[in-house]
Amino acid sequence: MASVSELASTLTSVLQKLPSLQEIPNDDRVLLLQVVNELQARLETYVESIQKLIFSPQDLSAIRLAQGMGIFDAFAASGDKELTLDELHSKVKGEKGLLVRIMRSLCCKNVCKETGQDRYCPLQLAFLFVNGMPTGELIKHFYANMRASARLYDYFEANGYQNPTDSYDAPFQLAFDTKDHYFEWLAKNPADQKAFNSTMTLGRRVRGKEWFEVFPVGEKLQASSDRALLVDIGGGIGHDLIEFKQQFPELPGRLVLQDLPQVIDDISQPLPDGIEAIKYDMFTPQPIRGAKAYYMRTVLHDWPAKQAVKALTQVREAMAEDSILILNENCIPESNVSWHSTVVDITMMEIFSSLERTQRQWVDLLEQAGFQVVGSYCPGSVRGNVFLAVDPGKLGRRKGTSSPSHAETPKKKTGRVRDAGGGQRMIIYTPDTGIIVGKQLLGKFLTFMTEGRGMTTWPIRLLDMIDLHSSWRSSTWAASLIFNGQVSGHRPCLVEYRKYYGDGLQHQRLFMQRIGNSTATPTLDDVVNTMVLAYTEGMLVTTPNAAQCHLTMAVDLLGRIGPQSCQGGLAWTLFCDLRTVHVSSSPSKNPK
């Protein structure tokens, strides 16, 4: 076994040979970072871990103080050359003794480097904190928010540790001794408003694919030249609309940017032709009526349900019969939430009484406001999700009518899921849209899985709707959408998802084959996966007798996990429920 000194020497050698950050693929970089973090966690004592935790506010405070003194500006003006203490002192505010103390902190955090006694040079991070840089404004923004963090305990102690529900009664109001909402307070504090705007701009740079790269723009966004095509509510200074316009310059229709007056006034460059800016408060009646699409990106995560539903209601009341709502939002998983998402969630709680929502919470919120979610698209970003929602009360109206009195009742057809006992369950859908408006296709299965039976991982996976191109688990979701397209005769739905199902199905079959050939004891999750595929094969037959083969494998897996799971357990009950199910549809319209 290598000695600790030999391991240290090896790590030093590896570090010296490490390529530049730009040369390392992101997945490899993340993997290396995980290994390094694990190594550090193994080597740290509890005391050292606690020290890092409790003293982290001091690090941010030192950087903010350095900004105020002009330390980063001084280094930027001098290039990347070394400065003596006296040279640096001549370029900044404050006494020399304070400068020495702040430089010690910056050097410990790898912001600057001490090259000798009273000699310093800037490192890469130092140039990011220059006043006026977006990352410099980021420091100012979160430093100011620390006041709310400092009163978090006092707030919840006084309120009985209940989740806050009103944006006008958050820890922010307690910390800043104000009755103003945070956005109202920003309007009265221009420097903080500028820091906030820069932070929001910076946040848009760290996402994955843009929403319009995964959303079916050509299918969903068509409008006449005199109609508003896309209304970006709370769109900041216009980044999303500008990028959308660059990507789709040929699409007819108006592009409308909406935000509060202080945000619109902060737009420094003229907007491209075809984009108009309107000062607008989203809690007031929407002035753009009947737009094809209303779009909101990371707007509602700033608001608890009490206010978010009010804002969504203004959108819904402005919609025409064919209007859609596109919601591009942070979306966290039900479990194993990342560190970044947890700190953002606490920040939302401190400042807005809001939260980072799961997919299920987003769907619930939209339904509270009278919307129906009919699509979800994952851009493959760290935490993003794009929801497509409609007002089901306006579906089926004749084009050109806006009054409910002129609405037509959509013609309905039905598909049935029958079981061996003769019972049946109706699926009602509109032939024009392919949207199921009755009991959902997988409602029976999901209800079973979520009614306190101790198994929550599968419905969470199913509802997460992760990247359909890469995960075998997503084949079930794709199959349900294909079935929806078949029974409704909705060709785009069928075409869009059929291509995903084949790849997903193959991955799932290979997985089950490995499980079947393995001597290892399978888990309940493995059993449920096979039965879910059997259920979807019953809906969408791709191979003769495939459903029966999957159920046969499920029986084998049930036997291998032990009698205790086969006698009244979750998997056995689910198996008994699903093995009798077969699917038929009426009419037999089945587009290819």
Catalytic residues: 301
| Region label for 377, one of left (φ > 0), alpha (ψ between -120 and 50) or beta (otherwise) | beta
> Residue written as tokens 């607008």?
280
Helix (H, G, I), strand (E, B) or coil at 175: helix
CA distance 433 to 388: 13
CA distance 309 to 315: 10
Between CA 166 and CA 175, with CA 171 as vertex, the angle to 5 degrees is: 135
What percent of the chain is helix, strand and coil (3-state, nearest 5)?
55, 10, 35
How many CA atoms lie less than 13 Å away from 217 in the CB half-sphere?
Answer: 16
* Distance of alpha carbon 229 from the chain centroid: 24
The strand pairing partners of 358, in sequence order, are 332
DSSP 134: H
CA distance 389 to 371: 6
Spatial contact of 152 and 171, defined as CB atoms under 8 Å apart:
yes
The structure tokens listed for 13 are 């050698």
- Residue 316's CB: how many other CB atoms inside 10 A? 21
DSSP 227: S
How many CA atoms lie less than 13 Å away from 484 in the CB half-sphere?
Answer: 26
The strand pairing partners of 231, in sequence order, are 256, 294
Spatial contact of 33 and 21, defined as CB atoms under 8 Å apart:
no
* 47 membership: H or E segment, kind and range: helix 46-54
CA distance 541 to 477: 15
- 201 contacts: CB under 8 Å, gap ≥ 6: 134, 236, 237, 239
- Measured CA to CA in angstroms, residue 165 lies from 175, 371, 495 at distances of 17, 21, 43
